[in-house]
Amino acid sequence: MGLDLGLEKAGFKVRVCVEMDKRAVGTIRPTRISQSLTGT
C-alpha cells in the first residue's frame, strides 16, 4: 500500500491493489473503494 500512495503522489493512477494480510485488507477496503482490491 505504501508504494501505491507514493505512485499516486507522483501522478500515477493505481487501478489494482494486492494485499495478502487479511487485517490490512479490512483496513484498505473501506478507504479505497474506487480501487479493485485483491487479497486472501
Q: Which helix (H) or strand (E) holds 38?
A: strand 36-39
Give the domain range for residue 8: 2-39
Which is more confidently placed, 19 or 1? 19
Flag whether pLDDT at 40 surpasses 60.
no
Domain tally for the chain? 1
Q: Dihedral through CA 8, CA 11, CA 14, CA 19, nearest 10?
A: -30
Check if the beta carbon of residue 19 is closer than 8 Å to that of residue 37. Answer: yes
Q: Please state, in angstroms and as integers, the Cα–Cα distance from residue 16 to each residue in 10, 23, 37, following that order.
A: 17, 18, 6
Strand partners, 18: 38
**Cβ(20)–Cβ(39) under 8 Å?**
yes
37 vs 23: which has the higher pLDDT: 23
Choose between 31 and 9: higher pLDDT.
9
Q: Is the pLDDT of residue 8 over 80?
A: yes
